[in-house]
Amino acid sequence: MHTQRLTLTLTALASAGLLLTACGTESGAGSQSSSGSGSEGRSVESEVPLTGVRWNVDSVTVGGKKYDAPDDAHLKIGKDGRAGGSFGCNYAGVAVRIKGDTLDFGKATMTKRACPEGLMKFEENLTRALAGEKLTAKADGDRLTLTTAEGDRVDLTSGPEKTGTPLTGTKWTVNTVGDGKTAAPLPKDVSGKVHLTFGKDGKVRGNLGCNDVTAKAEAKEGRITFGAPTTTRKMCPGDTMTTERKLLRLFDGTARYEVERDTLKLTAADGTVIDARAAVR
């Protein structure tokens, strides 16, 4: 899955009970971050390590209202001063200037997956909290808090790397269908209804929004070879049939697949891209 990597530079952060000691040198005048805006980078080490740690976003508070983070919202900082992260659904890249315990984020560059309304709202608020103004960083054990002068804040906790959801046995709810350049959310009439489940018997079963579908599906080395689909023959409204025709392009051929935590991306032979998420049980 192509994602923008999040470039994050860190310096010494100090707070009650925790001292972070910076090492290394400035990257040099005129250096550019991966997002394209000027940002000085430095390597860091600390008594309580920040680098090599997955910082899970617990919540973001904007305008006095707290929003709980989705499971996959996180930042992971490397010892080279670079990091990758998810804002809840989309991955983001951003430049940030550090001075003392103050972080000044630039404008985030994000992937463009369409997401459910709740995730989009969280991403909007997280982006606003990080990019609105300078933030003060305070660390305490496994917790990190970023706070603006207006009181907006992002709360994070260090935690283990989450393993990917297994391809087989998982009910994958399809959220978007696109052509690799643009991704369109499914029409409201079928939103949340389209799903696929890959069985250990080498078959995939699911629903295309109206009709059920079954086909052979053999996964190997990042590719799934689909057999010809067998479907029910219900008559469906126009938008539903349009969606089904797009989804049927996946079958009777070989498609690339990627699983990243709770997200599945399928790319059909003709370039059709399907994004799905593991259904909540």
Q: How is 171-228 classified by DSSP, letter by letter?
A: EEEEEEEE-SS-EEEPPTTTTTT-EEEE-TTSEEEEE-SSSEEEEEEEEETTEEEE--
Sign for the CA dihedral angle at 76, 25, 40, 135 comes to positive
Sign for the CA dihedral angle at 129, 133, 136, 137 comes to positive
Q: Is the pLDDT of residue 18 over 50?
A: no
112-159 pLDDT, tens per residue? 776 777 888 898 898 888 876 788 888 888 888 989 988 999 999 987
Collapsed DSSP state (helix, strand, coil) of residue 21: coil
Q: What angle do CA 20, 21, 24 make, to 5 degrees?
A: 135
User: Which residues is 62 bridged to in the sheet?
Assistant: 65
Cα distances (angstroms) measured from residue 34 to each of 27, 90, 95, 276: 13, 17, 8, 28
Cα distances (angstroms) measured from residue 106 to each of 51, 60, 92, 122, 135: 21, 18, 12, 18, 12
Task: Answer whether 175's CB lies under 8 Å from 277's CB.
Answer: yes
C-alpha–C-alpha distance, residues 204 and 247, integer Å: 13
Q: Is the pLDDT of residue 238 over 50?
A: yes
Collapsed DSSP state (helix, strand, coil) of residue 257: strand
**Which pLDDT value is given to residue 202?**
95
Q: What is the mean pLDDT of the chain?
A: 75
Q: Is the pLDDT of residue 13 over 90?
A: no
Q: Is the pLDDT of residue 249 over 80?
A: yes
Comparing 5-19, 96-110, 253-267, the range with the smallest average pLDDT is 5-19
**Which pLDDT value is given to residue 162?**
57
DSSP state of 38: B
Which ranges of the chain does DSSP label H, i.e. alpha helix? 117-131, 238-248
C-alpha–C-alpha distance, residues 54 and 99, integer Å: 23
